[in-house]
Amino acid sequence: MDVTIEYNHIDRFIRGLLSHYDVIAPVARDGRFIFDRIDDPAAVSPQYDTTLLPPVKWIYPNNEVLLEFDLRDITKAEVIAQGRPQALTFVHPCDINAINLMDEILAEEPSDANYLTRRRSTVIIGYECLGPCKENHLCFDKGYHIAYKGFDLFFTDIGGRYYVHVATEAGREIVEEDGSFKKAAYDDWVDLMKARAERKKGFKKVIRGDMEMLSHHLKKAYHNEIWDIEGKKCLSCGACVIVCPTCYCFDVSDEICPDMEKGVRTRRWDGCQLRGFCKVASGENFRKDAAERVRHRVFKKEVYLKKRFGRSGCVGCGRCIDYCIAKISIIDIFNHVMDRVRENV
């Protein structure tokens, strides 16, 4: 089912969502955008580039409580896995594709109760990218600038109104309850097709080579000099893995309440780029050089996840490039590897 909604009805639509869901939307903050919980539709900025943190972090939050325990009685520990109904709105296709991959990763047995519980209480309203949102992205090379699934509703700006694809039952309920939607007419569809035709002109390839072969080429570049070059630049701050929409490594730690009786076991985001990530109790560090860690990040996305799930773990959002203070760019790394392959042919 396809419908349309006019620009000036969007506020009412979001107010309707607010009565059922925590609404998470892109908002402007300090000169950039973030996904934040809103209670005023006026705060929403549908025209945004890329948010600092990806929306998936609302399904996989930092410092998530896993257990509540009682220091006096071990049997009183309880699992905490709950999700409030939330709506992630105006989500770009790259981030939708990231959530799709995270769904698969965390549903793989033994599946992650906390993620899945939160995911089930989340509706996703996608927002089509009709052109590149910024520099430093490679979503087009990867084909992740389009999302085919993983949303309940999907909005496309067709001038004066949005074309809305209703993908799920939850999406249909939202649309039916809200009176602002009109059934899409033939002209709306024509405008949609025009907008999409324009899209093709906007995006440009940034990787010099066949992306399908990237995983294969990387495997051969395991001992390439690029890892040392980038490793020397890397400050091991972990920014790249914290902003990545498909990074899910975590650490588990306990916090005790001030009453010294109760406490919580939480999980925090951790990152393979941090120095101590692979350090064990004996002091041995199994990935002690930054070069090894940089390589691991790239291989995890492009080789290991690809092998397990049949597609690349990098959705091309470019956040890791934007937030790297050492200016390490996966685009440069991929191009270096591709160029080397071409030289050796």
Q: Footprint of other proteins on this chain (CB under 8 A)? A: 66-67, 69-71, 74-75, 77-79, 81, 105-106, 108-114, 116, 222, 248-254, 256, 263, 265, 267, 270, 272, 277-282, 284, 286-287, 292, 296, 299-300, 303-304, 307-308
Sheet with 32-38: list strands edge to edge.
32-38, 22-29, 86-91, 122-127, 153-157, 161-166, 2-6, 182-183
CB of 237 to other proteins, least distance (A): 17
CB of 40 to other proteins, least distance (A): 36
- Secondary structure (DSSP) of 64-109: EEEEEEETTEEEEEEE------EEEEEE-HHHHHHHHHHHHHHHSS
Rounded to 5 degrees, φ, ψ at 236 are 55, 40
Q: Which is nearer to other proteins, 187 or 261 (CB)?
A: 261
CB of 11 to other proteins, least distance (A): 39
Q: Which is nearer to other proteins, 140 or 248 (CB)?
A: 248
27, 45 Cβ separation under 8 angstroms: yes
Q: Which is nearer to other proteins, 1 or 79 (CB)?
A: 79
Q: Which is nearer to other proteins, 166 or 214 (CB)?
A: 214
> Smallest Cα–Cα separation from 235: which of 290, 286, 277, 299?
290
CB of 305 to other proteins, least distance (A): 9
CB of 335 to other proteins, least distance (A): 23
Q: Which is nearer to other proteins, 76 or 342 (CB)?
A: 76
Q: Which is nearer to other proteins, 31 or 258 (CB)?
A: 258
Question: How many whole angstroms separate alpha carbon 181 and alpha carbon 3?
Answer: 6
SS (H, E, C) 153-171: EEEEECCCEEEEEECCHHH
**Which pair of structure tokens corresponds to residue 341?**
């392959």
Q: List Cα–Cα distances, 198 to 64, 130, 224, in angstroms.
A: 42, 7, 39
CB of 257 to other proteins, least distance (A): 10
